[in-house]
Structure 1
Amino acid sequence: MSVCAKYSDDSGSGGGDFIAGFLLGGAIFGTLAYVFAPQIRRSLLNEDEHGFRKARRPIYYEEGLGLEETRQTLNAKIKQLNNAIDNVASRLRGGGKVAEPAEADSEFEASV
């Protein structure tokens, strides 16, 4: 059994081969993209099989933090939230004095 290649000097045959290769490659890679695109999308966007994003762990649950440090961080966030609620309540009542928060946390303000 042997394979023999023949060179042809026909100038019109190259275009047909290109079109055939283009269509065959498009069909093969289009099918592969259709089959594997959902799995790739889920892994890149961190989604589950229903298209919902998986919950991320908040910053205060980092691996190096102990239970006491986590509690202190959460208490600080609760204090900031209570100050914000008090400010809004005083504005709604028409009070002239608005208390400024003692400590500004850019992460908290960005999420509100």
Structure 2
Amino acid sequence: MASNHQFSVCAEYRDGSKGGGNDFAAGFLLGGALFGTLGYIFAPQIRRSLLNEDEYGFRKAKRPIYYDGGLEKTRQTLNAKIRQLNSAIDNVSSRLRGGNNSPSVPVETDPEVEATM
């Protein structure tokens, strides 16, 4: 037995007023006032947390980020350059004193240092 019934639901709201334009306008104004007030109150706090600012609008200082070994490698490179410069200075000063003999300590040469001599 196959039944061929169609089922439909229809709902209608009637309160005696014509159209919902007034209800929409009232809801729009009330919602705008409510959420505008909330936005005005909470916007500075949200902005401070997003931009990492203090209460006066200045950015908070970030902690320096040192990656592993980077600082130590830079220090070693600078120390090597300082040793090269010191040996070049010793070499030039011995030449200026009249001692044309080569220094007993071998001098590490760097193209940048040699270009300045």
Which range, TM-score by smaller chain? 0.3 to 0.5
TM-score after normalising by structure 2: 0.46
* Structure ranking higher in helix proportion: 1
- Structure with more contact order per residue of length (Cα contacts < 8 Å, sep ≥ 6): 2
TM-score after normalising by structure 1: 0.47
Higher gyration radius (CA): 2
